[in-house]
Amino acid sequence: EPEVTQTPSHQVTQMGQEVILRCVPISNHLYFYWYRQILGQKVEFLVSFYNNEISEKSEIFDDQFSVERPDGSNFTLKIRSTKLEDSAMYFCASSETSGGNSEQYFGPGTRLTVT
Amino acid sequence: DAKTTQPPSMDCAEGRAANLPCNHSTISGNEYVYWYRQIHSQGPQYIIHGLKNNETNEMASLIITEDRKSSTLILPHATLRDTAVYYCIVRVANNQGGKLIFGQGTELSVKP
């Protein structure tokens, strides 16, 4: 069964450093998403991406965040200068379409710890 | 903010049906009801979704009331592995970005 994969599973970084979180969406999916979940809190939408452009982003997704599809398979989230409050689980998801009748499938997540 | 209301927690005996309710009284005609679950800190897992009609798949059944203001997710024979947080999400059909808005969900504990 096709699945979304994410690497690394756990990333530890120092405050102010740049991190890149990687995702491989399901191969025939065209829409890609990043979500995050701070420990003990809700899963929060960050950004959606289609056709090499951001479709929608939340208030959390400020200038320190960026997304990219560098090749035909990877989808990345970059945090330019990490802060302590960026510590969270980051989930990548993908779907065939963006419509309401198209389910999103999530990866296992990357646990980001900023020290 | 999430447009759904769910009980914060529920218990269910192993082998019995788990019935998880969700209220979505402000749902619009073009909005779907989705259910996901999250086990520990794993990625949310898609369960089922529907618009008007009841739906069934290998994991669960979704019962949507005729007025669409509430729904129930049914796990027919709950196992210990079904212990998780279950999220009911209302999603616009033509959402430009397709985002999911998660609430706090229902923490289901399946007990032996």
Q: SS3 for A9-59, per residue?
A: CEEEECCCCCEEEEEECCCCCCEEEEEEECCCCCEEEEEEEECCEEEEECC
The arithmetic mean of pLDDT across residues A17-39, rounded, is: 96
- Does the pLDDT at position A89 exceed 60? yes
Instruction: Tell me the average pLDDT of chain A.
Output: 94
Residue A94 contacts B where some CB pair is shorter than 8 Å: no
- Does the pLDDT at position A99 exceed 90? no
Neighboring chain A residues of B38 at a CB cutoff of 8 Å: 43
Instruction: Tell me the average pLDDT of chain B.
Output: 93
For the segment B4-34, what is each residue's pLDDT rounded down to a tens digit? 999 999 999 999 999 999 999 999 888 899 9
For the segment A33-46, what is each residue's pLDDT rounded down to a tens digit? 999 999 999 999 99
Buried residues in B81-98 as b, exposed as e (16+ CB within 10 A): ebbbbbbbbbbbeebebb
The whole-number pLDDT of residue B1 equals 53
Q: Assign B58 a pLDDT band (cuts: 50, 70, 90).
A: very high
For the segment A51-75, what is each residue's pLDDT rounded down to a tens digit? 899 999 999 999 999 999 988 789 9
The arithmetic mean of pLDDT across residues A47-51, rounded, is: 92
Q: How near does any CA of chain A get to the CA of B36, in Å?
A: 10
**Omega before A25 within 30 of 0, i.e. cis:** no
- A71-76: long-range contacts at Cβ-Cβ below 8 A with a sequence spacing of 24 or more? A73/A24, A73/A25, A73/A27, A74/A22, A74/A23, A74/A24, A75/A22, A75/A23, A75/A24, A75/A25, A75/A32, A75/A49, A76/A20, A76/A21, A76/A22, A76/A23
The whole-number pLDDT of residue A29 equals 93
Length of chain B measured in residues:
112
- Does the pLDDT at position A2 exceed 80? yes
CB atoms B31 and A55 under 8 Å: no
The arithmetic mean of pLDDT across residues A30-35, rounded, is: 95
The better pLDDT of the pair B95, A34 is held by: A34
The better pLDDT of the pair B61, B94 is held by: B61
Q: How near does any CA of chain A get to the CA of B46, in Å?
A: 6
| A91 φ/ψ sector (left φ>0, alpha ψ -120 to 50, else beta) | beta
Neighboring chain A residues of B85 at a CB cutoff of 8 Å: none
CB atoms A42 and B104 under 8 Å: yes
CB atoms A106 and B99 under 8 Å: no
How big is the A-B interface in CB pairs under 8 Å?
Answer: 78
Q: Assign B94 a pLDDT band (cuts: 50, 70, 90).
A: low
- By CB neighbour count within 10 A (0-12 exposed, 13-18 middle, 19+ buried), where does A47 fall? buried
Give the separation between CA B86 and CA B8, rounded to whole angstroms.
10
* Torsion, Cα of A107, B102, A64, A49 (10° steps): 60
Neighboring chain A residues of B95 at a CB cutoff of 8 Å: 98-100
Residue B57 contacts A where some CB pair is shorter than 8 Å: no
The whole-number pLDDT of residue B93 equals 63
If contacts are CB pairs under 8 Å, which of residues 10-29 in chain B contact chain A? none
The whole-number pLDDT of residue B97 equals 61
